[in-house]
Amino acid sequence: MKNPWKKLAVAAALMASALAVQATEIREQTLRFAFQSIKEHPLGVGAQRFADLVASKSGGKITVKLFPNGTLGGDLQTVSALQGGVLDMTALSSGLLAGQVKEFALFDLPFMFSSGREADAIVDGPVGQQLGKMLQDKGLVSLGYWELGFRNLTNSRHAVASLDDFKGLKVRVVQSPIYIDLFRALGTNPVPMPFPEVYGALESKAVDGQENPLKSIELSRFDEVQSHVTLTRHIYSPLSILIGRKSWERLNADEQKIIADAARESQAFQRQNARAEDEKSLATLKKRMKVTELPAAEVDKIRQRIQPVVDKYAASVGEPMMKQLQAELAKARAAK
């Protein structure tokens, strides 16, 4: 009869060996995560939650180092750095990716979403997933979506309470063609520039105004150089969570799973935080600036004026994708 103790010893050795191999599968490393907002912004708060999740899931072996406030360059520079493998991760307004994949322009179509819940249905559904896959060939890997929120207009000249009030304002816009065309159609002089340069441009009067979600307006202290905010809610901006494909492919399967799981788990927290902070920011800004609600009749006029812009970029997105988007929106609205 064979010695049972020998069998146990062999089994224990095999188990120890397996555990040793498993323990070495997660390697010590640092991922650099750059973004435009300050760390207190919901984007920064989401990035910190993501970093904490990665640290926890990796047993402290993978560190996500955050570079907030555009310290490593603007959004477009950051995307290029991800593609080149110089930088690892970012989160940016999804519409900016239209320069990489034209279909991403659908996220910047004016007045497309009426609530964050509708946007969730799109970014978490087939449309959002399909768009994410399209980035692979551009050297980017999509890890999901956070929220930047609904964008609103501020300026230092006068209250904007009607379509006519837009005329002649010099407005800083995102470095994206659809924003330039949109604000030109409204009668303003759009000036594209990176976000970190906006405060200085407002302070020097190089531009009269800008447009951003309320939390960005508050945390950037634009109320110090702007006197009016109009609740236009003209565009809803999701945030694409990205890792460069070169960085992604340097990770082994277990490390990729940690990053993907952390990104997915951070989504609900980040979106909930962003929406709560938006409400708080509105209350704060009402104490510091003149807040104007656009009458429904003026919103209808604006929609009519910008329809050619919507048609132009809807065409670039393509009829199949637009039909799919409209079908998913109708389904989300019916489920209310």
**pLDDT for res 335:** 85
pLDDT in tens, 55-104: 999 999 999 999 999 999 989 999 999 999 999 999 999 999 999 999 99
Q: Given a cut of 60, is residue 19 above it in pLDDT?
A: no
Q: Given a cut of 90, is residue 24 above it in pLDDT?
A: no
pLDDT in tens, 102-142: 999 999 999 999 899 999 999 999 999 999 999 999 999 99
Residue 4 lies in a domain: no
Strands lying side by side in the sheet with 89-93? 62-67, 29-34, 89-93, 236-244, 140-150
CATH number for the domain including 107? 3.40.190.170
pLDDT band with cut points at 50, 70 and 90 for residue 21: very low
Average pLDDT over residues 231-248: 97
Residue 3 lies in a domain: no
Q: Given a cut of 80, is residue 1 above it in pLDDT?
A: no
- CB-based contact 291:231 (threshold 8 Å): yes
Q: For residues 326, 328, 329 and 333, what is the CA-based torsion angle, rounded to 10 degrees? A: 140
**Domain range for 54:** 28-334
% of the chain surpassing 70 pLDDT:
93
pLDDT band with cut points at 50, 70 and 90 for residue 20: very low
Q: Which residues of 173-202 are buried (b: 16+ CB within 10 A; e: fewer)?
A: bbebbbbbbbbebbebebbebbbeebbebb
Residue 66 lies in a domain: yes
pLDDT in tens, 181-195: 999 999 999 999 999
DSSP code per residue over 321-335: HHHHHHHHHHHHHHT
DSSP code per residue over 211-259: EE-HHHHHHTTGGGT--EEEE----EEEEEEEEEHHHHHHS-HHHHHHH
Return left, alpha or beta for 111; rule: phi > 0 is left, psi -120 to 50 is alpha, else beta. left
Residue 171 lies in a domain: yes
Q: Given a cut of 50, is residue 5 above it in pLDDT?
A: yes
User: What pTM was computed for the model?
Assistant: 0.86
Residue 86 lies in a domain: yes
**pLDDT for res 12:** 56
Number of folded domains that form the chain: 1
Residue 13 lies in a domain: no
Residue 19 lies in a domain: no
Rounded alpha-carbon distances, angstroms, from residue 240 to 46, 48, 107, 120, 259: 12, 16, 11, 13, 15
Q: Which of 1-5, 103-107, 244-248, 299-303 has the lowest mean pLDDT?
A: 1-5
Q: Which of 10-19, 163-172, 231-240 has the lowest mean pLDDT?
A: 10-19
pLDDT in tens, 31-63: 999 999 999 999 999 999 999 999 999 999 999
Q: Can you name the residues that pair with 149 across neighbouring β-strands?
A: 237
Residue 45 lies in a domain: yes
